[in-house]
């Protein structure tokens, strides 16, 4: 069995002494895993950077086997943003979400095209916040949980100070200020405040307006709740650590924006910093500010997301029960239910 396709490298982690296991998102074949012989060598460190667009040739004796890749570099998207830890965190978060959320060996050409558009737009240092939120918005649509058009519903709720999103009906509703009867706490627990970026987004506009860092953090929390509810909890998984780190980078901005006037916010932030309250991490302390090549030597916990790679990603535990060759040639389990 053999095929050749263009693919984005989602992750690459070491296996054994010289081999690496790569996860890619190909245009016509979906998310695939495969071995790369000599993948830990210095000569391939620049090639195997997450976010790179590669031309890959996958080959195996049987369709059910893990197989191996032969890769050639097409475009190094990660190299364009190495000096910006925030944009690097956004790219790493997008790749980690795709690796966990997409079923293995299931074609997702729309996700491939949207990822390519996002990585192209990520080169802009001014509008990348908007581009990332639009990408997560589109990801929910690709997975079958697209948000409805809010244009008509916002005409009803626009006069209110807050627009609520019902997690059960997936629709907008007015604030339940007068519903203090029985079941009010239960209804309030199923509703989220619609982020301002999404409230200002027109139905025909893919991007909407460019958010501030505080609005970006607010929208990240909103989308994180939807992803947990619809995508990850049914699979009994959590949000990838890379996605959580991206939200943590903007958590301080989101809290600081809700503290009244600018003078009061400045005084409050100075008191918080002197008291040791956590703020947005700096480029030196950020776990994603290091070069992308760190992902090759330090695998993320998202290795459990792939049914195939999980069978071969822990050679210590498998060495006592079965040889490595048996785990490599093991059939692919169910993509989502496992």
Residue 270, pLDDT score: 41
Same domain, 271 and 169: no
Same domain, 270 and 123: yes
Same domain, 74 and 159: no
Residue 333, pLDDT score: 41
Q: How many domains does the chain have?
A: 2
Is the sign of the CA dihedral 258, 262, 266, 267 positive or negative?
negative
Residue 196, pLDDT score: 82
- Give pLDDT tens digits for 268-283: 344 434 443 333 333 3
Q: Does residue 320 register a pLDDT over 50?
A: no
Question: Is-contact 220 192, C-beta < 8 A?
Answer: no
CA distances for 215 relative to 61, 125, 335, angstroms: 51, 17, 35
- Give pLDDT tens digits for 126-177: 889 999 999 999 999 999 988 876 655 655 454 455 678 888 778 776 654 4
Instruction: Please report whether residue 335 resides in a domain.
Output: no
- For strand 53-59 and strand 30-36, is the pairing parallel, antiparallel, or unpaired? unpaired
Question: Is-contact 213 132, C-beta < 8 A?
Answer: no
Instruction: Please report whether residue 142 resides in a domain.
Output: yes
Same domain, 177 and 42: no
- Give pLDDT tens digits for 100-132: 999 999 999 999 999 999 999 998 888 899 999
Same domain, 42 and 168: no
Name the residue with higher pLDDT: 152 or 264.
152
Residue 152, pLDDT score: 54
Instruction: Please report whether residue 30 resides in a domain.
Output: yes
Same domain, 51 and 85: yes
Same domain, 60 and 35: yes
φ, ψ of residue 310 in degrees (nearest 5) = -65, -25
Q: For residue 13, what are the domain limits? A: 2-150+194-328
In whole angstroms, give the CA distance from residue 58 to residue 74: 16
Q: Does residue 213 register a pLDDT over 80?
A: yes
Same domain, 180 and 78: no
Instruction: Please report whether residue 34 resides in a domain.
Output: yes
CA atoms within 13 A on the CB side of 152: 3
b/e map 23-34, b = 16+ CB within 10 Å: bbbbbebbbbbb
Q: Does residue 13 register a pLDDT over 80?
A: yes
Q: Does residue 294 register a pLDDT over 80?
A: no
In whole angstroms, give the CA distance from residue 303 to residue 132: 23
Instruction: Please report whether residue 257 resides in a domain.
Output: yes
- Give 84's pLDDT tier (boundaries 50, 70, 90): very high
Kindly state the average pLDDT of the residues 22-31.
96
Kindly state the average pLDDT of the residues 314-322.
40
- For every residue of the chain, which 3-state class applies, written as one string? CEEEEEEEEEEEEEECCCEEEEEEEECCCEEEEEEECCCCCHHHCCCCCCCCEEEEEEECCCCCCCCEEEEEEEECCHHHHCCCHHHHHHHHHHHHHHHHHCCECCCCHHHHHHHHHHHHHCCCCCCHHHHHHHHHHHHHHHCCCCCCCCHHHHHHHCCCCCCEEECCCCEEECCCCCCCCCCHHHHHHCEEECCHHHHCCCCCCCCCCCCCHHHHHHHHHHHHHHHHHHHHCCCCCCCCHHHHHHHHHCHHHHHHCCCCCHHHHHHHHHHHHHHCCCCCCCCCCCCCCCCCCHHHHCCCHHHHHCHHHHHHCCHHHHCCCCCHHHHHCCCCCCCCCC
Same domain, 126 and 174: no
Residue at which a domain ends, from 162, 192, 222: 192
Q: In terms of Cα–Cα distance, which of 195, 244, 207, 194 is closest to 224? A: 244
Residue at which a domain ends, from 172, 192, 212: 192
Same domain, 134 and 162: no
In whole angstroms, give the CA distance from residue 76 to residue 80: 7
Residue 101, pLDDT score: 95
In whole angstroms, give the CA distance from residue 4 to residue 2: 7
Same domain, 97 and 124: yes
Same domain, 92 and 164: no
Instruction: Please report whether residue 204 resides in a domain.
Output: yes
Residue 54, pLDDT score: 96
Q: In terms of Cα–Cα distance, which of 310, 288, 239 is closest to 51? A: 288
Instruction: Please report whether residue 79 resides in a domain.
Output: yes
Q: Does residue 331 register a pLDDT over 50?
A: no
- Give pLDDT tens digits for 164-212: 888 877 877 665 444 433 344 444 557 888 888 887 766 555 666 788 9
Q: What is the overall mean pLDDT for the chain? A: 74
Kindly state the average pLDDT of the residues 290-300.
41
- Give 69's pLDDT tier (boundaries 50, 70, 90): very high
Residue 325, pLDDT score: 38
Instruction: Please report whether residue 52 resides in a domain.
Output: yes
Question: Is-contact 12 47, C-beta < 8 A?
Answer: no
Residue 239, pLDDT score: 94
């Amino acid at each position: 069995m053999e095929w050749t396709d263009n693919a984005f490298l989602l992750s690459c982690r070491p296996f054994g002494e010289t081999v690496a296991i790569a996860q890619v998102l190909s245009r016509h074949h979906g998310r695939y895993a495969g071995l790369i012989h000599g993948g830990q060598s210095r000569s391939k460190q620049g090639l195997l950077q997450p976010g790179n667009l590669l031309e890959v040739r996958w080959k195996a004796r049987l369709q059910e086997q893990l197989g191996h890749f032969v890769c050639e570099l097409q475009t190094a998207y990660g190299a364009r943003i190495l000096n910006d830890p925030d944009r690097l965190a956004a790219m790493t978060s997008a790749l980690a979400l795709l690796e966990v959320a997409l079923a293995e060996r299931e074609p997702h050409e729309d996700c491939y095209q949207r990822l390519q558009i996002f990585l192209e737009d990520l080169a802009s240092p001014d509008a990348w916040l908007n581009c990332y939120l639009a990408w997560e918005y589109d990801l929910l649509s690709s997975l079958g949980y697209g948000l409805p058009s809010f244009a008509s519903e916002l005409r009803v709720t626009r006069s209110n100070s807050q627009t609520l999103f019902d997690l059960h009906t997936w629709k907008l509703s007015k604030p339940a200020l007068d519903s203090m009867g029985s079941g009010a706490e239960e209804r309030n627990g199923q509703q989220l405040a619609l982020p301002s970026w999404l409230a200002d987004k027109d139905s025909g506009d893919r991007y909407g307006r460019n958010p501030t860092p505080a609005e970006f953090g607010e929208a990240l929390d909103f989308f994180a709740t939807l992803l947990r509810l619809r995508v990850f909890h049914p699979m009994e998984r959590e949000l990838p650590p890379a996605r959580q780190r991206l939200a943590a980078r903007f958590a301080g901005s989101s809290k600081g924006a809700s503290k009244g006037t600018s003078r009061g916010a400045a005084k409050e932030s100075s008191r918080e910093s002197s008291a040791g309250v956590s703020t947005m991490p700096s480029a030196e302390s950020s776990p994603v500010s290091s070069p992308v090549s760190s992902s090759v030597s330090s695998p993320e916990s998202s290795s459990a997301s792939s049914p195939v790679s999980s069978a071969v990603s822990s050679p210590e535990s498998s060495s006592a029960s079965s040889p490595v060759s048996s785990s490599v040639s093991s059939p692919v389990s169910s993509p989502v239910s496992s």
